[in-house]
Amino acid sequence: MAHRIAVIGGDGIGPEVVAEALKVVRAAGVELDTTDFDLGGERFLRDGTVLPDDVLDELRSFDAILLGAVGTPDVPPGVIERGLLLKMRFALDQYVNQRPFTLADEGIDFVVIRENTEGTYAGEGGFLRKDTPNEIATQGSVNTRHGVERVIRYAFELAQSRPRKHLTMVHKTNVLTFSGDLWQRTFDIVAAEYPDVATAYNHVDAACIYFVQDPQRYDVIVTDNLFGDILTDLGGAVSGGIGFASSGNLDPSRQAPSMFEPVHGSAPDIAGQAKANPIAAILSAAMMVELLGETDAAERIRKACAATTELTASTPEIGDAVARRL
Ligand code: IPM
Ligand code: MN
């Protein structure tokens, strides 16, 4: 049976890298029944559409969503990010953002589990006295016991399934004494259920040093939405480049489809020139087919990506080079 996939190529290099991801997945022998959705900044500029509720409902009926990248310089910040990407993550309750980083030559092999539905991303806050000299803007961080516990539990389960069985919580508990306290207490309570998982804690600023100087120390990391956003760009930078960083926005309860996307953005400066590295999108698609039960194909795609050295070639040539190795 073919897997039903909603494809949102999006903007900039998004459609270019997604085309290679689909090419590679099919070359691995996985049958896909894809439906394209024309969404993103370009669509918004054309007719004002971001993500209507009926389209969101339609997306719910798919086995998974594959997204390239969204964002166009001509659209004000937030319109597409909040209205499309975050709307999908939140509405589909994709509470885990899983971002693996590996660089075999340097012994780097860790996964960041980023909370994906709360924190400063929740959209709490607003303006008072806007556009006056006394203007006030607040942007709160929403942390629920339920939301924190479920993502921490997911991270413990993942750590337990890996050889090193090590989990680091990253936060800023010395300053964020309310949200940090909730995270730390919840972490400690859940940790008691996983006595075989070794744990550590890093403040996020210190974690930035370790990411650069000693990323080998990490196995699984769990952190909040904003820290996870920032740390995973750094994770990409220290493990080969952001062009290799893949991600899955997961609803582990499987009530809604999960969404897979490269960590990088739409890179409008190089769009349409076949210069983008499609490996991040290909590895995101590998994560997708793994979740759909195609574990063997996923492993073969990952191996083929690791063996592909033609990285200065054009986008479709890199896709072809990976596909050839399958
Ligand atoms: C990411 C991106 C998004 C985020 C943006 C585009 C809203 O940076 O997936 O990391 O901040 O989550
Ligand atoms: Mn980001």
Minimum-distance ligand 1 atom for the alpha carbon of 70:
6
Q: Is the pLDDT of residue 150 over 90?
A: yes
State the distance between the two ends of the chain, measured CA to CA, in whole angstroms.
21
If you take atom 6 of ligand 1, which residue's CA is the nearest one? 81
Would the CB of 263 count as within 6 Å of ligand 1? Answer: yes
Nearest CA to ligand 1 atom 9: 263
pTM above 0.95, yes or no: yes
Which pair of structure tokens corresponds to residue 48? 């004002």
Say what the pLDDT of residue 1 is. Answer: 85
* pLDDT tens, position by position, 111-149: 999 999 999 999 999 999 999 999 999 999 999 999 999
Q: Read off the pLDDT of residues 64-123 as tens digits, 9 standing for 90 and up.
A: 999 999 999 999 999 999 999 999 999 999 999 999 999 999 999 999 999 999 999 999
Scored b (16 or more CB within 10 A) or e, 29-68 reads ebebebeebebbbbbbeeeeebbeeeeeeebeebbbbbbb
Q: What is the secondary structure of 73-105 as a DSSP string? A: TTSPTTHHIIIIIIHHHHHTT--EEEEEEEEGG
Ligand number, closest to the Cα atom of 69: 1
